[in-house]
Amino acid sequence: MIITGSLLKKMRIEAGLTQSQLARMVGVSQAHIAKIESGKVDPRLSTVNKILQILTSRCGKKCKDIMTREVITTTPKEKIKKVSEIMVKHGISQLPVVDGNRVVGMVTEEGIIRNLSSNISEEPVEKVMEPPFPLVSEDTDISLIRPLLEMHPGVLVVSRGELVGIITRSDLLKVI
C-alpha cells in the first residue's frame, strides 16, 4: 500500500481531526501537515508513522469485531467435488486451504471455473488453489484492511499464527 498525502488527508478527515489538531499530536507544524497532504513535501518515515499511528488508533473497530469466526477450511488433497459442494451448501465463494495449522492457499469459485475440465471434480484442491489472501492480526484496525480488500476478495485473520477468522468485502459492507 502506498501512503500518499491525499490518503493521509482522507484518513484525518475520517478521524474528525483538523490539520492543527493532528500537527499538535504528531509534534509538527500545521503548515507541515498541509504540505504533506498536498504532496508538496516528502515527509520522513518517522513522521508518516506517527501520523498513521494517531489516525488508525482513533478509528475504533478492529478485525476481530467484524470477522467471520467459524472459518470453513479444506486441505490440499481434498477433492474439488467435495469443496464445491461445501461452497454451495454454505453460500461461500472461497475457502482457505490449510496444511496442519498453516494456511497454504485459497480455493475460489473463479479458480475452479478457470480450470474446468471433464475430470475436475476428482482433482485435488492443490491443482487449482491460489496463493492465500493477505494475513492480518485480529487487532488490526479495519481502516487498514480496506485497501487490501480493493485488491483481494478477502483477508485472513490470525492470532498467534493460528487462523481465527476471515473478512470478505461483504463483511466490510455490513459495517457501513
Q: For residue 125, which phi and psi values (nearest 5 degrees)?
A: -55, -35
Domain boundaries, the chain: 5-57, 64-175
- Say what percent of the chain tops pLDDT 90: 54
CATH 2.60.120.10 fits 5-57, yes or no: no
Choose between 27 and 15: higher pLDDT: 27
Which of 46-60, 97-111, 119-133, 161-175 is the least confident region? Answer: 46-60
- Say what percent of the chain tops pLDDT 70: 95
Classify domain 64-175 at the CATH superfamily level: CBS-domain (3.10.580.10)
The stretch 97-113 carries a mean pLDDT of 92
Give the confidence band of 139 by pLDDT, cuts at 50, 70, 90: confident
Query: How high is the pLDDT of residue 145?
Result: 85
Query: How high is the pLDDT of residue 175?
Result: 65
Choose between 34 and 14: higher pLDDT: 34
Give the confidence band of 60 by pLDDT, cuts at 50, 70, 90: low
Q: Could you give the CA distance from residue 34 to residue 28 in angstroms, rounded to a whole number?
A: 11
